[in-house]
Structure 1
Amino acid sequence: MNPTGRGDWAGYGDAAGTTPPPVPGLRFGRVSFVWRPWPVLVTVVLAAGAFLLFCLSIGVGDFPIGLSRVIATVLGRGEAVDEFVVMDLRMPRALAGLVVGVALGISGAVTQSVARNPLASPDVLGITGGAGAVAVFLVTVSGGAATAVLGSVGLPLAALVGGLGTGLLVYFLAWRRGIDGFRLVLIGISVSAVMEAVTTWLLVSADIRDVARAQAWLVGSLDDRSWDSVGVAAWCVLGLVVVVAVAAFPFKPMHLGDDIAAGLGVRYTRVRAVLLLCAVLLAAVAVSAAGPVPFVALVAPQAAMRLTRFPTPPLVASGLVGAVLLTGSDLLARTALPISLPVGVVTAAIGGPFLVWLLVRANLKQTTRT
C-alpha cells in the first residue's frame, strides 16, 4: 500500500516522478475499448453456459436426446428423427428462453443504469404489469372474439402495446426537468399497483373460461412456442440491442453526472430517452413472447455486475445472465420438480428473496452513511 494511504493508484509515482501504467485497450478507428480480461472471461463463460443450457433444454422431453446428438443436430449433422424433434418440436421453446432472457436482462441493465437505482426494472416500473393488463383486457372483455380475429398475433400485440404505453406513462409522470431515479421507481411502483388492480378486476368480472386462459398467460411460460412468434421476437430484440449498443457509447460519461456529460458534449436528455424507450420495447417484446416472467430483469443486471466486478450493470453480461437464468429456470421447472410448472413460478421463487436481499442491503448502506 502506498504511503499516502489514498488507495492503490492515488499518489502512485509521487516520489519517483513516474506515471501510472496505461490501461490496456483496443482501438478501431475512432472507437476504442478498454481491455479487461476478467469481464471478458466471465462473458465467455456465461455464453458457454447459456449454450449448454440451451442444448440441455432441447434434449429433455418424452423422447430424450443426448447432448452430443443435440449439438450435432443444431450444427446440421443430426439424423432425420433427431432433426424433426429438435428443429420442429423443441427448438422454438429453447430459443424463446434465450431471446426473452437476453431481452429482459438488457432491459433491466438499461433501466437500472439510467435510473441509477438497483430496484429499477420493468417489473417494478409497471411495464410488465401494463402489458399484462392490456392482454388480459383483450382476452376477457372480448370473450375471445378479438383474439380470433387477430389470430396468433393478437395477444402478443396487445402485450406489446400495453408495455409501451405504460412505460411512456411512467416516463412522462417522472419527468421534472430530468429523470430522478428515486422518483422514477416510486411512480413505477404506483403505476404497477394500478395495473395489477385493473388486472385483478378484469379477472374477477370475466367468464371463468377466459380467466383460465388469461391466468395461464399471466404466470409467464415458454409452453407451446412457435417459430413465427419466436422469429418475430428475435428480430425485434436484435434490432433493439443494436440501437442500445450504439447509444451506450455516449451514455458512459453520464455515470459521472449530467453536468460532466454536458461538458463533454453529450446530449444526455436525448440519450436517456432513447435508452429508456429501448428498454421499454425490449421488456414489452419479452412479455409478448413469453408472458410477464417476473424478476429476471431485476436479478440479471445485479448478478452480472457482481460477476464482472463492474461498478454499473454491463449490457452483454446482463443479457447472458438473463438467458442463463430463464433457460435454467425452465429446465428446472420441467425436470427437477415433481410436476411441470411454468417458468415464471421458478423465477419468482428465485427473484423474491433476491429483492429482499437488495432492500436489506440498501437499508444497511443508508444506516452506515447516517
Structure 2
Amino acid sequence: MVLALCTAFALSQAYRTVGAIMASQLQAEFKLSAQALGVFSGAFHFAFGAMQLFMGIGIDLHGVRRTVLTAFPLAIVGAVISAVSTNYLVLVGGQVLIGVGCAPAFLVCTVFIARHFPAARFASVSGLVLGIGGLGMLLTGTPLAWLVQERSWRMGFVVLAMASALAWLSILWWVREPARQGTQPRESVLGALRQFGSLFAMPHTLGIMVLGAVTYAAFISLRGLWLGPLLMERQGYSLVQSGNVALIVSVISLFGSPLFGRLDRDGPVRRRRIVACSLAYAALFLAIAFGTSAWIDVGGTILIGLLSGFIVWQYADVRVAYPAAITGRAMAVFTMAMFLGVALMQWITGVAASVAIAHGVETYSAVLATIAVLLVVATIAFARLPTPRP
C-alpha cells in the first residue's frame, strides 16, 4: 500500500521538476522573462503548499485513501490543460491545478507511516519513501529531455498525464487503509482548524517552519528550475546533456534520503546535525554561484542532491516535536511550509535573475548566492529560536 501511494508522490516529483527541462522551449514559445519563468514553476508549489492545511483536515476526517483519490484527478486535468495551452495564463492555470491535485501526494505517505508503523521506524521508512518518490525526478532527466527535444514540451505533459492516470488506478486498486486503533468521536472542520491554531501557538513551531521553508526549496529550485538553463548558458551544454546531469542528480538523491534515514539519531544530536548539514548545503550553493568550472557546477549539484537527504531528519524532528494527537496536522503544516517556501524561493530567484540581467551581473551567480543567503539566515533562526521541550 505504501508503494501504491508512492506512485502519486513520484508523479508529483516529476511535475515539480519539469521546469528545468522545458524552460528553454517555454521561454521561446511564450516570450517569457526569467521572472515569468519563475512564476510558472512556482505556481505548482504555491498551490501545492496552500492546500496542505485542507488536505491535512481531509486526511483526518476522511482518511488517506479517499483524500488522495478525490484530489489527484485534478493533476491529470491540469497536465492536459498545460499540454494544449496557447497562452501563458492558461499554462500557469494548468500548473495550479496540478499543484492542487498533487497536494496530498507526499502527506498521505507520511501520515500513513506515522499511523501504521512503529515510531522508531518513522525516519527510515520515510527516507525510503522519499527515495522511491524521487524516481519521478528520473522522468524529468534524460527521458523527458529527449522527448522534449525530439517532439515538444507539450508531449511531456501528455506522457505525465497518462502516467498520473495509471497512478490513480493503482491507488484505487491496492490501497485499503487499515483501521486505526481505538474509537474517537468524529471531529468537525471547525475543530480541526482550531487544532491548527494551537499548533501555530507553540513557540518552537516558528524555527521548524522557517528552516523547512528553505531546505527543500533550495534543492528543487536548482534541480527543478535553474539547472538546465545554468548548464546550457554557462557551460554550453545541449538539452540532452543537461538532462543527463539532471538524471545523475536525481539518481544520487534517491540514495540520500534512505541513507540519512538510517543515520538518524533521536535527541539534541539530531538538531545539531540538521544545523551542520544546512550550513554545508549553503556552502555548496555558494561554490556553484562563484565557480566557473563545469566540474564545480556538476559536482556541486550532485553533492547537493546527496546532501538534500538530511531533510528526512527535519520530518523526524517534527514527528517528536508535537503530541501524537496532532502529528498529522503538524506534518501538514511542515509540508505546507516546504512548498510555499519553494514557490517563494522560485519567485525570489526569478526576481534576482531579472535584477542581475538589468545590472550586467552573471545571472546564475545572483540566483545561487540568493539561495545560499536564505539558507544561512533560516539556519540561524532554527538554531536560535525556541526548541521543543523534551
TM normalised by structure 1 equals 0.40
Greater helix share, structure number: 2
TM normalised by structure 2 equals 0.38
